[in-house]
Structure formats: structure tokens, C-alpha cells
Copies of this chain bind each other. A is one copy, B any other.
Amino acid sequence: MKEYKNLFTDSIRDELKSFAEYRVAYQEISTLRNILSVLQWDSEITLPEDGREERGSQIGLLSGLIHSKYAGENFYKLAEKARDENEQKTLPGQDERKVEFERLFQDLDRSRRLSQELVEEFSVTTSQAHSVWVKAKKENRFSDFVPILSKIVDLSKQQAECYGYRTETYDALLESYEPGEKAGNLEKLFFNLKNSLKPLVERGKNVVNPFPKEIPIFLQNKLGETLPGILGLSPKISRLDASEHPFSTSLGSKDKRITTRYDLKDPLSSIFSILHETGHALYEVGISEIEGGPSPLHDSVSLGIHESQSRLWENQVGRSREFWEMYYPILLEILNIKEFELGFSKLFSYINQSSPSLIRVEADQITYNLHIILRFEIERDLINGKIQVVDLPEIWNSKMKEMLGINVPSDKQGVLQDVHWSGGAFGYFPTYALGNIYSAQLFQTFLKQNPNFQTEVKEKKDFSSLLNWLKKNVHSKGKFYSANDLIRSATGSDPDSSHLVQYLEKKLIELESINHG
């Protein structure tokens, strides 16, 4: 495959007038997007309660402005002119710019395929559906959700027809979250994973929370504040806040913000959110460090690759023995817990515990993937017209029994648990499992090339070899490759769930040795 050289240099721009002009317009759009992120971050973190409605108008106005600039005729023509100019002049970086225009026009052409009416109907319907879903979930009445969810499925199918696809309708929607990925490929990947996970699920063990007391939030925060810096996310370009749902967002190339949430009874909840969101943020930092941006190539590859970065730091690194040998004393000291109150083995077993449960966001490393595969199978059939919305609870419950061996006592703990479908985000779920698969494959490759990493972590709190490897092999590539090509270039082989399975098996063996030791 072609070696990618980061040829986003400025020097070339003097010779490419139209290219330079198009890049100025792109820069402006990018800056406006960052301003929008400031508004959104502020809405989640600092906005006074009654300011919400007017903030909605501010976000609406700015979103509209960005859309009219990005999807408008002017920008399109400017970009076409720049693309033609690049075709005509043989100058260094010509091929890279060609890819840049491919990515740009993929996105522009895609959004232009939807009619204004469909976009608006989709937006209005999903906005109504949110409160319908909230209420239906609260009252455990799936039937109340059926009419509007059916409408969303219908509109999503219409979207898919507008976008176009080769093999199946679902692929057109998957493309929004995982460009280049196909359901047929996911089916193979997930089939292997599902079969391999089955025996592991049975070997998993539920471990009770070992914390001896509730830990006040200010102490949990003090502990959490230490983490991003240790991993390589400098406080000079980032900050940590608390929010209802943890998230990570980029407000500028040197302004990456993450959030966590605190559980008085379980400080690990906050720690693992911070590890996860720091992973996302480090990826965004790495992308911002690519010279010559912003551009359509200065972007993440896909949600799956983005999730691979968060999962890598959260699970591959954050649940490893060497990480906790390093972090355990820090945790005891800052949280003011004595060693005899919280033994290392108990803590480590708890961190890596697994047992089938009902709720995806609370699931462990092993069963999480099955939760995702279940959703993928269901939403694929739904969009491809093989099943109906009204039948979802039955299908959901029988798949839960089949995959995880558990009975679903109520729809609110079952088919109604997640927000995604009410927002029309069909094709989103599989990216979570892809993130797990990619992360294990990337980390295994890294470890082979860096056998000293675990010692560096344990003895020197030094994660730099990993961060540098990720920067070099993932972050610095921007959106130049597809997810599959990127994984191939970084690991030398196709995406393959066996690395994840091997990791989980090794983990089980490690835990079993603790329990029997």
C-alpha cells in the first residue's frame, strides 16, 4: 500500500491559488465548528439552568450558518476548482490532495443526496422521539414507542435509498459512522467473535465492590486529575469536568476537554471514564498535531477507530496488572484508604470481573461485545426489512437468552435501554465492538514491538512509547486511510477479532490464577 507522508505543507500553496482559496474557506468552517463545540461544551458543563432555551437558539443559528457555508454552492464550486487545479499541476503532494478531495466530495455529495424535506422531517421526528422514548422507558411501555420508532425506521430507509448502496440497505447507514465498512464484513468478524466469546462468558466471575467506604467527590476528583497528565494529555491543552454522561470534545487544536462522572460507592467508575475519554482526547490531539491543517484529512478515520483509542487506554492499558501496580499506591494515598482495607488482588479482580448483565453501559469487557452484536443483528434486520419494530422486544429477549443466557425482566432493562434508535442512529452500535477489536489488535502489535512498555509503566509511570507509537501509526495518518487500511498498515494484518479474544482469555487465566493462588 502507498506510504502516507503527511505532505500537508503550506509551501505548495503559492502555486495552487484555488487550493489555497478553498483551504481558507475550509479553515473558516472549521473555526466555526470549534465555536459550536464551545457552545455545546458550555451547555453541558457551565450553562445556568434557565439559559438552556436561548442556548438552543444560539446553537441553531450557528449550526445553520455552518451548514450553509459547508453545503452551499460557493464552497462546492471552490472545492471543484481546487480539485481540477490539483489534477492539472504535477506538484509534490498531488496524490495526498487527491485523497483529500476524495474524502471531501464523499461527504459533500452524500449530504447533498438528501432532500431538505427529508432532513427536516428526520430532525423533527427524532427530536419528538427523544421524549417519547424517555417516557416509554420510564413507564416500561414499549408499545408507546412503536409508532414513532417505526416512522424513524421508515425515514432511515428513505435516507439509505437516497445515499445508495450495493448489497443491502443497512450499509448506506453504516457508512455515516464507519466509512467503507460493510455489514457483510461485520457479520463475519462478529460471527467469529460471538463464537469465541461464548465459552469465555461462562468462565467469567462476578466480584463484589471491594471499596471499604464511600469516597467523597473532591477526593475522587483529586485522584482523577492526576490521570490525563500521566497518560500524556497535558493540562495546558485540556481540562477535566464532571457531567451526567462522560464525553470528550475538541474545541480547538490545543483545547481538548474531557468529562467524567462520580459514583460515591465506586471510584473506579470515574477512573475508567477518565481513561476512556483521555484516549479519545489523545487521538484528537494527535490529529491536531498533523501539520498543514485543518483539512478534510485532518479528521478521525471513523467512530470505530476513535473508539479503539478510548478502549485501548481504558481496557488494554487501564485494566492491566502493570498499570495497577503503578496506580494502586497513588489511589490508596489520595483516596485515604489503607492497604488492609483494599487488597490489591481484590481490587484487580473487581477491575477485571465479568458476568452477564442486562445493561450495555454497565457491561464488562467480555459481555459488552455481545450486547453490541445483538444490537447490530437486530438493527441490520430492521433496516433491511426482515423484522418489524413491533416484534423487537421478543427478538431482543430471545437473543439475550441465547447470547448471555439471561432473562430480560422488563423492556426498560431490555430493548428500551439505549438512546440511539430514538435518535435514528442506525449503524452506530457496531463501531463500539469494532473499537474493542481494533484496540486489542493495535495494542498487541505495539507490545510485540515494545517489550519494555510494561516495565516502563510499572516503574516509571512512563506511557510515552505507547503514545508515540499510536501517534506514528494511527493519529498522524488523519483520515488518509480507511479503517481497514489503517489497521492493516499499523498491524500488518486485516482486522481480526482473535486478538481481542486472546486478550480476554489471557485475562481470565490471570484472574483464575489469582483466585486459586
Question: Do residues B252 and A49 form an inter-chain contact, with CB atoms below 8 A?
Answer: no
Interface pick from A38-46, A116-124, A346-354, A503-511: A38-46
Which residue from B31, B235, B236, B251 sits with its C-beta under 8 Å from A57?
Answer: B31
Q: Report Cα–Cα, A39/B62, bound state, in Å.
A: 13
Which of chain B's residues have a CB closer than 8 A to the CB of A49?
A: 235-237
CB neighbours of A53 from chain B (8 A): 254
Interface residues of A in 447-463 (CB under 8 A from B): none
Size range of the chain A interface in the assembly = 35 or more
Contact with B along A11-53 (1 / 0, CB 8 A): 0000000000000000010011011001100100111111101
Residue of B nearest to A239 (CB): B48
Tell me if A406 counts as interface (CB < 8 A to partner B). no
Q: A253 in the interface, Cβ–Cβ < 8 Å?
A: yes
Query: Chain B residues near A236 (CB, 8 Å)?
Result: 48-50
**Which of B28, B55, B61, B238 makes the CB contact (< 8 A) with A252?**
B55
Residues of B within 8 A of A391 (CB): none
Q: With the chains together, A254 CA to B456 CA distance in Å? A: 51
**Do A46 and B239 touch (CB < 8 A)?**
yes
User: Closest Cβ of chain B: how far from A186's Cβ, in Å?
Assistant: 38
Q: Determine if A54 is an interface residue (Cβ-Cβ < 8 Å).
A: yes
Bound-state CA distance A254–B49 (Å) is: 9
- Would you call the interface of chain A mostly helix, strand, loop, or mixed? helix
Contacts of A407 in B (CB 8 A): none
Q: Which residues of the partner chain B approach A57 to less than 8 Å between Cβ atoms?
A: 31
A238: which of B48, B58, B235 is its contact (CB, 8 Å)? B48
Interchain CA distance A407-B483 in the complex, whole Å: 73
A255 interface hit (Cβ, 8 Å): yes
A97 to B: closest C-beta gap in Å: 24
- Alpha-carbon distance A252/B48, docked complex (angstroms): 10
The reply to whether B51 and A237 contact each other, CB–CB distance below 8 Å, is yes
Residues from chain B with a CB closer than 8 A to the CB of A235 are: 48-49
A49 to chain B, nearest CB (A): 5
| Neighbouring B residues of A54 by C-beta, 8 Å | 34, 252-255
Cβ A61 vs Cβ B32 within 8 A: yes
* Mask of A54-83 contacts with B, CB within 8 angstroms, 1/0: 110110011000000000000000000000
Min CB–CB distance A217 → chain B (angstroms):
13
**Which residues of the other chain, B, contact A55 by a CB distance below 8 angstroms?**
252, 255
A251–B46 Cα distance when bound, in Å, is 12
Q: State how many angstroms separate the Cβ of A485 from the closest Cβ of chain B.
A: 31
Q: CA separation between A253 and B234, bound complex, in Å?
A: 36
A251 to B43 alpha-carbon distance, docked (Å)? 12
User: Which residues of chain B have C-beta atoms less than 8 A from A61's C-beta?
Assistant: 28, 31-32, 35
Distance in Å: Cβ of A103 to nearest Cβ of chain B: 23
Question: Given A46-B239, A239-B46, A254 and B51 touching (CB < 8 A)?
Answer: yes
A290 CB to closest chain B CB (Å) equals 15
